[in-house]
Amino acid sequence: MKKVKFRDIIGKQSTLAILVLLVLLLSVTTPSFRTVGNMVNILKQVSMIGIISCGMTLVVISGCLDLSVGSVFSLLNVIIISLQQRSNLLAITVAIIVAVLIGLFNGGIITAFDMNSIIVTLGSLSLIGGLALLYTNGAIIHGISDTWFSVIGKGRVFGIPVHVLVFLFIALIYQILLTGTSFGKKIRYVGVNPEAARIAGIRTGKIRTLTFIISSLSVAVAAIIYSSRMVTGSPVTGVGYEFSAITALVVGGISLRGGSGSIFGTIIGVLILAVIVNALTLYNVPFSIQNIVKGFLIIIAIIADIRARREIEF
């Protein structure tokens, strides 16, 4: 009896257990890991990819996938920096409008034609990436620092970076959206069984399109933070972000089949990846090996997810 209970807890929070074990193990073995500076560093590094992953989580729970986030990030980055020279407010406004339009485009055509979201967004990955390159003609552009805009990326409140607070705020809002509202419930229903959801009167197309808009908007927030922190815009900054986000989701136990998952899981996934990358960097493991580790993690996590589901089914 007792044993079963223990297994249930581990089963439900297995990703959290892995994260805790990982941190404990590294703290014991690696002195440079357990410093406060390093911990803050990890948190600082996760805020942008964390925000993007939180947005992606809603898309995945609704049964789709958004591969275009990396290109959207690059495009918004160069748009913000180019307009920031004129006005900060204008830059932010335009970035948000463009993000909404991109989300509307992705979600709109996927749901209108009932198409495979992975392949459509693979198309928009190329399309939007090309637009970002065209926008600056492939060049890196520079913005203006030392305005109120830089507070977003560089400022601190009670010693905590503003962008980390933004990340936590967004995570909280999305978690409430998912668990406490009827919209969140509908996202789950659509993900579990779109056909049944449609028959039950849920407008599946509208729900899915909204998740794509939320995903692009999250990317906009991340791009604003990045632009504010780096004050440069490059049309290739976001290359590969889509895979980092997907890896984080899968590691965090969000099923790519849709219907299940939580923001909490995503955050754990983001943190596990960040801790692993941090440890690999501390041990001077080259970047390429880090990609191999990520690939392995995805496959292991997918296998674990399917196994867990099968146990529930039978």
The residues facing 157 across adjacent strands are 160
The runs of H, that is alpha helices, within the chain are: 2-12, 14-29, 36-61, 69-84, 88-113, 117-136, 150-154, 162-180, 182-192, 194-199, 204-230, 241-251, 263-282, 287-313
Quick check: 119 binds another protein (CB under 8 A)? Answer: yes
Q: Confirm or reject binding of residue 314 to another protein (CB under 8 A).
A: no
Amino acid identity, position 14: S
Q: Least distance from C-beta 250 to another protein, angstroms?
A: 8
Task: Identify which of residues 129 and 233 has a Cβ nearer to another protein in the complex.
Answer: 129
101 contacts another protein (rule: CB under 8 A):
no
Cβ 129 to another protein, closest distance in Å?
Answer: 6
Q: Identify which of residues 17 and 293 has a Cβ nearer to another protein in the complex.
A: 293
288 is an interface residue for another protein by CB under 8 A: yes
Taking CB under 8 A as the criterion, which residues in 228-247 touch another protein? 243, 246-247
* Interface pick for another protein out of 97, 138, 156, 180 (rule CB under 8 A): 138
Kindly state whether residue 286 participates in binding another protein, applying the rule CB under 8 A: yes
Q: What span, in angstroms and rounded, lies between the C-alpha atoms of 9 and 12?
A: 5
Looking at residue 35, the DSSP 8-state letter turns out to be: S
Query: Looking at 96-104, 127-135, 160-168, 205-213, which segment touches another protein (CB under 8 A)?
Result: 127-135
Listing DSSP states for 56-112 in one string gives HHHHHHTT---TTHHHHHHHHHHHHHHHHTT-HHHHHHHHHHHHHHHHHHHHHHHHH
Q: Does 292 bind another protein (CB under 8 A)?
A: yes
What is the Cα–Cα distance from 179 to 197, expressed in whole angstroms?
Answer: 18
User: Parallel, antiparallel, or unpaired for β 156-157 and 160-161?
Assistant: antiparallel
Binding-site member from 120, 207, 273, 277 for another protein (CB under 8 A): 120
Q: Which residues are near another protein by CB under 8 A?
A: 109, 113-116, 118-120, 122-131, 133-134, 137-138, 243, 246-247, 250, 256-257, 286-296, 298-299, 302-303, 306
